[in-house]
Amino acid sequence: MLARNPEAYDRKVVQIEALGSVISSPLFSDHAITIFESGCTEPDAWATIELKESYKATPEVDAFINSQQAEIRNARVVVVGQFDQWASMGCFSPRFGIKATSVRLISPATSEALPKRPEATTHQAGSAEQALGADSP
């Protein structure tokens, strides 16, 4: 499996079938596909898909990636492209990446609402002098 032996596949062209997910939100300007398998036990077994400039998406794939509807879209996909085992350092993002020459949806896309942001809690604010005064002689 790719995630168990990434150095064997680094810089090689791979074909992967996985669950693809795209988040469209006002907080993100790019709509990138992230692929993963929910049952996989490897902690790094997810990857960001970067589309090569020469790639021409089908209308179905373009709608999956670039819809302006604020939501999370999911579909089974087949991705072909060059694997990069060090696409990022893996902090808050997938470590692996694929520079895709082909993306194909093999299931209908589903969508779910973005999670609600928690309400900001209000604190009674006192002055800095009041806060400091409590500790001073």
By C-alpha distance, which of 22, 21, 103 is closest to 58? 103
68-90: pLDDT as tens digits: 899 999 999 999 999 999 988 76
pLDDT value, residue 132:
47
Q: Is residue 27 part of a domain?
A: yes
Contact, 80 vs 100, CB < 8 A? Answer: yes
Q: Is residue 123 part of a domain?
A: no
Does residue 136 register a pLDDT over 50? no
The CATH code of the domain that includes 22 is 2.40.50.140
Q: Is residue 128 part of a domain?
A: no
Q: Is residue 115 part of a domain?
A: no
Q: Is residue 112 part of a domain?
A: no
Q: Is residue 125 part of a domain?
A: no
Q: State the residue range of the domain holding 92.
A: 2-107
Q: Is residue 16 part of a domain?
A: yes
pLDDT value, residue 26:
79
Query: Domain count of the chain?
Result: 1
Residue type at 7?
A: E
Q: Is residue 40 part of a domain?
A: yes
**DSSP 8-state assignment for residue 113:** P
Does residue 134 register a pLDDT over 70? no
Contact, 13 vs 81, CB < 8 A? Answer: yes
